[in-house]
Structure 1
Amino acid sequence: MITVDHLTRKYGDFTAVDDVSFVAQPGRVTGFLGPNGAGKTTTMRVMVGLTPATAGQVTIGGHLYRDIPNPGRHVGVLLDASAQHAGRTGREVLTIGARTMGLPDSRVEEMLALVSLSPEESKRRLRNYSLGMRQRLGIAHALLGDPTVLILDEPANGLDPAGIRWMRGLLKGYADRGGTVLLSSHLLNEVELIADEMILIGNGRIVAQGDKQSLLATETVSSLVTSLDNAALAAALQAAGHTVAAAGDGLRVAATTVEVGRAALSAGVVLTDLRVESAGLEDLFLSLTADTQRDTQAAAPAPINAGGAA
């Protein structure tokens, strides 16, 4: 179990993590989600003792990370897949880790096989690894000591679709066996497929948390509808107090499908399509962190020399 208790980390006047509290439970994958710069990595660095907290604390199994003896046997960590000596081979990286933790060299072979790094690939130096290969090696190193807790920062970066599916199955199986997984990512749609619990963070503060169903239940219900007379239907819906907007060939209505159907019946309008507008985690997150997003919709820049040839 990972317990984050009123954690704050400041750098001068800048607050990177602002009074964050949550619990990552055993047997569950907890997704720690947010845009770049939201405070995810800083929180994880505090967890494993690489960055001191300004206030609050993080405990793993009830202990500060620095107080855990031989921590690699209890907590598997992947914060930066490239943070290894570029001149070492993948096998050397895992062998050093195994011997540091007091593990037999046979554990290295098991981990290489687990992450599908071939004998030839394991003998390459890290400077010649692709990002995806480095991620696989990083996951192997995190799992080397057979820990009960995994802390992984953006582990899907650089993995191809097959690799992402493999990682998803690996982590889900790990949690099913009772392990605690904390997985940070900005790939919201991918995390939806694996996380049991989600922590959404923006500008260093938690903006929402819970499972997918409970998070999306907080979204305003809306319906998409088309009819033989959209103008008459819109008038009936507005008269009933519902907000209506054009949406393609139909209307988007801030109301349930039952309420839309009743308004159509009372107006004598025939419906040709009526459905709930399904909201996704990405839509929810963007709406909750709209003021923290770096990118906004803007017109495309004019082409160079748009006024004529140079």
Structure 2
Amino acid sequence: MIQVENLVKTYGDFTAVDDVTFTAEAGRVTGFLGPNGAGKSTTMRVMTGLTPATRGSATVLGTPYEALQNPGRHVGVLLDASAQHAGRTGREVLSLGAMTLGVGEKRVDQMLEVVGLTAKESKRRIRNYSLGMRQRLGLANALLGDPKVLILDEPANGLDPAGIRWMRDLLGTFAAEGGTVLLSSHLLHEIERIADDIVVIGRGKIVASGTKEELLRPSGCLVRSADDETLHRVLSGKGLDVLVLPNGGLQVEAETAAVGQVAAEAGIALVELRGADSQGLEEMFLTLTSDDARQETAA
């Protein structure tokens, strides 16, 4: 389990993370989403002990990361697949990691097989690896100590479709066996497929969190009428939230029966009235972060 409570990180007058609180549960995959500059990477760096918090706390398995004994045996971390020694071979990187963690060379062979790097590829220097190969090596390093928690920032970058599917299956199995996965990714359709829970951050604040089903559940209803302009005015006058749809019609945060009653009382003929469609993750993400995105700012 990962617990972040009232986390604040400031740099001078700039607040990168502003009172962030959320939990990533064991046995589940938690998608951590936000536009560039929203505070995702800063939050993940705090929870992995790379950046000190200004206030608040981030704990992994009930303990701050830096206080864990041999943390790699408890938490697997992949924040930047390119941050690996370019002059070493893949096997050398994993062998050094195995010695540091106190696991045998047999574990290196197992992880190479798990991530799909061949014996020949493992003997190549990392400077000659593609980004996808570096991601696979980074995942092997994260899994090397047989951890209970994985913290991964954009692990699918550079993977081909087969590699993305492989990673999805790998993380799903890890969670199904009781592990905790916190996963940040810009591939929203992949998060939608693999995540059990979703946390969305914008301008350093949590703007939404909950299970995938809760956040993507359809809300309100769609209505079209002979006079949408008048219907909009009447519904708004009743205190209802009304959104004009680009292709005509209105989305109303109310039950269909209530909207139908208002239209009937106003004498407005309805052409269509139905429950709203379930929104996809991309639609939800863009709606929640449209006012929060910061362009060309470090996360």
Equivalent in the alignment of 1:177: 177
Equivalent in the alignment of 1:251: 249
2:149 and 2:288 map into 1 onto residues whose CA distance is 29
Kindly report the root-mean-square deviation, in angstroms, between the aligned alpha carbons of the 2 structures. 2.5
What displacement does 1:268 show?
6.6
Which letter does structure 1 place at the counterpart of 2:249? L
Equivalent in the alignment of 2:20: 20
What displacement does 1:274 show?
5.7
Equivalent in the alignment of 1:162: 162
Distance verdict in 2 for CA 1:128–1:19, change over 3 Å: same
Equivalent in the alignment of 2:239: none
Asked if the contact 1:48/1:66 (under 8 Å) is kept, the reply is yes
**Structure with bigger gyration radius:** 1
What displacement does 1:51 show?
0.9
Which letter does structure 1 place at the counterpart of 2:127? R
Equivalent in the alignment of 1:114: 114
2:122 and 2:38 map into 1 onto residues whose CA distance is 35
In the alignment, is residue 137 of structure 1 matched against residue 137 of structure 2? yes
1:290 and 1:68 map into 2 onto residues whose CA distance is 38
Gaps of 5+ in 2: 237-241
Distance verdict in 2 for CA 1:244–1:97, change over 3 Å: closer
Which letter does structure 2 place at the counterpart of 1:251? G
Asked if the contact 1:256/1:276 (under 8 Å) is kept, the reply is no
Asked if the contact 2:33/2:40 (under 8 Å) is kept, the reply is yes
2:75 and 2:255 map into 1 onto residues whose CA distance is 46
Distance verdict in 2 for CA 1:57–1:274, change over 3 Å: closer
In the alignment, is residue 32 of structure 1 matched against residue 24 of structure 2? no
2:206 and 2:122 map into 1 onto residues whose CA distance is 40
Asked if the contact 2:19/2:205 (under 8 Å) is kept, the reply is yes
3-state SS of paired residue (1:31): strand
Deviations 1:283-304 (A, max 9, x none): 2222222222246xxxxxxxxx
Structure 2 residue aligned with 1:231, among 208, 226, 232? 226
Q: TM-score, normalised by structure 2?
A: 0.86
2:269 and 2:206 map into 1 onto residues whose CA distance is 47
3-state SS of paired residue (2:36): coil
What displacement does 1:256 show?
4.9
Equivalent in the alignment of 1:300: none
What displacement does 1:260 show?
6.7
Asked if the contact 1:223/1:256 (under 8 Å) is kept, the reply is no
What displacement does 1:236 show?
8.0
Which letter does structure 2 place at the counterpart of 1:9? K
Which letter does structure 1 place at the counterpart of 2:101? M
3-state SS of paired residue (1:292): coil
What displacement does 1:275 show?
6.2
Distance verdict in 2 for CA 1:3–1:119, change over 3 Å: same
Residue correspondences, number: 286
Structure 1 residue aligned with 2:235, among 234, 237, 241? 241
What displacement does 1:267 show?
6.3
